[in-house]
Amino acid sequence: MTKKSFLERLYNQFNSIRLAIILVIILGIFSLIAILLEEYFPTNFMNWQKFYLEKLGPEKFQLFTILGIFKPYKSFWYGLVLLLLVLNILICTFERSRGILKLSFGKIFRDSASSIEQLENHATLNTKMNQGQLLEALTNFIVKAKYKLFQKSSENRTLFYATSGQYSRLSYILFHVGLVLLVIGGLLITALGYTEDLWGMKGDLLTPENADFSLRIDDFKIETNARGQVKDYLATLTVLDGGEEKFTKVVEVNFPLRYKGYTFYQSSYRQSAANVNGVILEVSGLAPLALDSVVTLEIGKKLPLPLFNCTLSAIQFIPDFRLDGDSVYTASTEPNNPAVKILMETPGKESKEQWLFLKYPQFHQQQSGPVQLQFLDINSDQALYTGLQASRKPGSELVWIGIVLMSFGLILSFYIFHRQIWIVVENTGESLKIHLGGKINKSQEVFKNEFNEMVKELNKNIK
């Protein structure tokens, strides 16, 4: 027995469905790890590099960056598993494609009665017709049944091969080629793609990474509903390229701006902690006849609520709330975790203080006398920051082509079946004997009934 070379053994390993299953399991585990890493080390906020550099120190920050902790889907370990999976799929598809192409485009004859009788669905008929009449009857019958027919003669036999839905066999190739394109496109997006959060106020110029153009923020506004809750963000952006204004577009959620392969989405907004003059609260009445309402409470001023017979005061505002023992402080000037301390005064009762959190409305929530309060937003004279997500995805075309091919492959696989009919006509001298057999790649019981009906119909036609 000839000993196989290392490359041959390696090739055989990659020509294995078992390896594909193992790689998919590993990829699933790595995807779970990536999800957890993105949860514990998010990078979707301003100056995240500076934050983690200060928190972890230079050495740990550098190590985490090399290991891809901050960008797990762009890490070497995640990309390596995807590349191995692509290679595995390509080799498996190539090795199985030759048989599939033969079934889809080839002419596969059976030249004996014994080969027909090996099929689960087979029958033998006799006729007194002459050979010319029988061949014409068989041809008309098969074509009428919407089969593609091939014929050849062999000694004292005439052989027929009829096929229908043969191109459904290509579903395997289409699906796996589509899957490869999808993964390669994803790898290109991961390796060469770009995603960045850009923040700016009216009048600011924003330049994406490695871009030769800029965006000017002409305006930004927030649309709210009757309850004061945010309904939509609208940013008016002008593209500046080579010192010229190319075009202006209003960008909102689900309606991005696209230019030179970059896509800009309206993702969020932010208010500076500077010049905060008040907070917007929702006051929920606990009395049977009391109605919910939205009020603006200025910092350091009292707001009477006659309906509830009480007075509210915002006595302290913290833009980035932190707690160290009993000490409250702000971690930064950015509104990363805005909190406001509310004083409620009710005549004849003890005053109550309560912290309200903008991003965590349920945290530390308590009933404050006759009302319940919720922190809805900050009221500031400072212009709003608009948050734009800029992205570039160089492999997105391959992803879309892959999705189309996979979808088409699935349609062929589930809705079109490959039917095959073989006929061997033998001249016994006294009569012509017809050996008829068939098979289908799926839905065996349905085809069995179809085949039996075909045999009955053919028997009538050749009497």
Residue 89 has pLDDT above 60, yes or no: yes
Q: Cβ–Cβ contacts within 10 Å for residue 191, how many? A: 11
Does residue 172 lie in a domain region?
Answer: no
We report the CATH number of the domain holding residue 120 as 3.30.310
Residue 332 has pLDDT above 60, yes or no: yes
**pLDDT given for residue 74 in this prediction:** 82
What is the number of domains present in the chain? 4
326 backbone dihedrals φ, ψ, rounded to 5°: -100, 0
Nearest to 387 by CA among 275, 223, 264, 274: 264
- Asked if 342 and 198 sit in the same domain, the reply is no
- Asked if 252 and 393 sit in the same domain, the reply is yes
For the segment 25-31, the average pLDDT, to the nearest whole number, is: 90
Percentage of residues in the chain having pLDDT higher than 90: 31
- Do 270 and 335 contact (CB within 8 A), yes or no? yes
**pLDDT given for residue 38 in this prediction:** 85
Residue 376 has pLDDT above 80, yes or no: yes
CA distance 388 to 258: 12
We report the CATH number of the domain holding residue 393 as 2.60.98
Give the domain range for residue 203.
Answer: 178-273+384-406
Averaged pLDDT score across all residues of the chain: 86
**pLDDT given for residue 228 in this prediction:** 60
* pTM passes above 0.85: no
Summarize pLDDT for 248-295 with one digit per residue, the tens: 999 988 899 999 989 999 987 776 656 677 888 888 775 554 556 788
Question: Amino acid letter at 84?
Answer: L
Percentage of residues in the chain having pLDDT higher than 70: 93
Summarize pLDDT for 189-240 with one digit per residue, the tens: 877 888 888 888 888 899 988 889 999 999 988 777 766 666 788 899 999 9
Distance of CA 23 to the CA centre of its chain: 20
- Do 159 and 109 contact (CB within 8 A), yes or no? yes
- Asked if 112 and 231 sit in the same domain, the reply is no
Order of strands, sheet of 205-206, starting from the edge strand that comes earlier in the sequence: 205-206, 213-224, 230-241, 244-252
CA distance 169 to 280: 63
